[in-house]
Amino acid sequence: MKKSIFVIGALFGSMLFAATTTTTAAKPKPKVKAPSEPCLISNTPVKKCILTIEATGVGVPPCEGACSTPQARVMARRAAIVDAYKSLAEKMYGIKINGRDTVKNMILQNSNLRAYVNGLIRGATIEEEDYKNGVYSVVLSVKLDPKVWNEFLKNNSSAYSY
């Protein structure tokens, strides 16, 4: 009889030891943190999301009217900056395109396309500038919060609709 109690006690003790070791050895699961990237598309809610929109503009010096080479370069730079602003406005506000085709005797006689861009851009910064082979290129960027931007567009839809 003593043997059976010892075996049962040893068996019960090992089960108790195994149970205690598994419960103490189990580590709590680490908490899932929000991604460090500002605008990662996922199911995890992100508190602050900032988008950076970039656009490239190019400009060439005028063929006529520039008094000197430095003046032509400055004019090409200005043209590149204006072109980059136009590209930013196209990305942020969209483009309205009107088209008109004239067909006579099943032959295209005339085709006209007009693109309209209307927008306001504040806080754009020049990220890169380059002047090679007479072509000036500029990369502009603007940072915005999509929630604030969508609210702005919703409140000012009549000002920026075509």
Tell me the domain boundaries of the chain. 51-155
pLDDT at 36 over 50: no
Q: Which residue has the higher pLDDT, 154 or 130?
A: 130
| HSE toward the beta carbon, residue 74, CA cutoff 13 A | 7
- Residue 159 is predicted with a pLDDT of 67
- Residue 39 is predicted with a pLDDT of 52
Q: Which fold has domain 51-155?
A: Dodecin subunit-like (3.30.1660)
Give residue 73's identity as a one-letter amino acid code.
Answer: R
Q: What is the mean pLDDT of residues 51-65?
A: 89
Per the CB < 8 A criterion, the answer to whether 86 and 114 are in contact is no
pLDDT at 78 over 70: yes
Percentage of the chain beyond pLDDT 90 is 40
List pLDDT tens digits, range 111-150: 999 998 988 899 999 999 999 988 999 999 999 888 888 8
For residue 30, what pLDDT band results from cuts at 50, 70 and 90? very low
Closest CA to 81 of 129, 14, 153: 129
